Amino acid sequence: MTSDRAGDDEAILFLSDLHLCEARPDTTGAFLAFLGGPASCAARIYILGDLFEYWAGDDDESPFTLLIATSLGALARSGVRVLFMAGNRDFLLGASYAERAGIERLDDPHLLSVGGEQLLLSHGDQLCTDDTAYQAFRSQVRDLTWQQGFLAQPLSARRKLVEDIRERSESEKSRKPSQIMDVNASAVDRLLREYAYPTLIHGHTHRPARHEHVVDGRRCSRIVLPDWHDTARYLEWSCGTLADREYIP
């Protein structure tokens, strides 16, 4: 767990699940415009995972990944802090790409104190505990020894393996009951209790909503961020409130 405190007057943007890739030029265009637009007016932006469709290693230095790094780097150099939490698609994004892009990497979860509020940030996949096949897969690929073995393979072999797993994931998802791919209510309650009843902000499920959880008699909000597949949507903290925003370039 990492934690941080923001100044009361800071404007902060939260976004996740952009799934950037060359095959989605409209989303890439919207993201680049967003970096030059609303993000440039904020004090910091939090990207809560799945910035990329997938990340096979920092040695993927394609013009596409370099363009995103250059654009994030320009924002960071202008004084906007860019904070990144890994998702299940891009947990292999490492120190070298982070440095190139001027982004600060966070643990999952991350606790942010601002304006007297506690905001607990997470990608959200760890809360989907009913999806036991996914959680087993997750434990395997988050193992550092496994990751070293994976990263030791040539980039082309890694890309092929990820694409095979993507195919298998899509086929398994089509057979899973929808509710097991959402967060588990008890897992959410445990997390809220552990972090002293904050507001939880997460992505991953692509089911944007605001939920209320009452844990030990305490009322906590859980805000689920939208993906960027059709529109550029994010959450904005400003003057003590969290507002849903949509950016049309």
Binding residues for ligand LP5, rule: CB under 6 A, are 54, 56, 88-89, 92, 125, 128, 131, 133-134, 137, 140-141, 150, 161-162, 165-166, 168-169, 172-173, 176, 181
The length of the chain, given as a count of residues? 249
Strands 232-238 and 241-247: antiparallel
Nearest approach, Cβ of residue 181 and ligand LP5 (Å): 4
Q: Which residue has the tokens 């897969």?
A: 137
Q: Quick one: DSSP state of residue 90?
A: S
87 is an interface residue for Mn ion by CB under 5 A: yes
By beta-carbon proximity to ligand LP5, the closer residue of 173 and 193 is: 173
Nearest approach, Cβ of residue 151 and ligand LP5 (Å): 9
* Spatial separation of the C-alpha atoms in residues 114 and 10, rounded to whole Å: 9
Nearest approach, Cβ of residue 46 and ligand LP5 (Å): 19
- Beta-ladder partners of 118: 113
Judged by beta carbon distances under 5 to 8 A according to partner kind, the member of Mn ion, ligand LP5, none in contact with residue 172 is ligand LP5
CB 53 within 8 Å of CB 85? no
CB 225 within 8 Å of CB 15? yes
130 is an interface residue for Mn ion by CB under 5 A: no
Tokens of 104: 């600060």
88 is an interface residue for Mn ion by CB under 5 A: yes
Nearest approach, Cβ of residue 19 and ligand LP5 (Å): 8
50 is an interface residue for Mn ion by CB under 5 A: yes
Tokens of 108: 């999952």
List interacting residues with Mn ion (CB under 5 A): 50, 87-88, 204
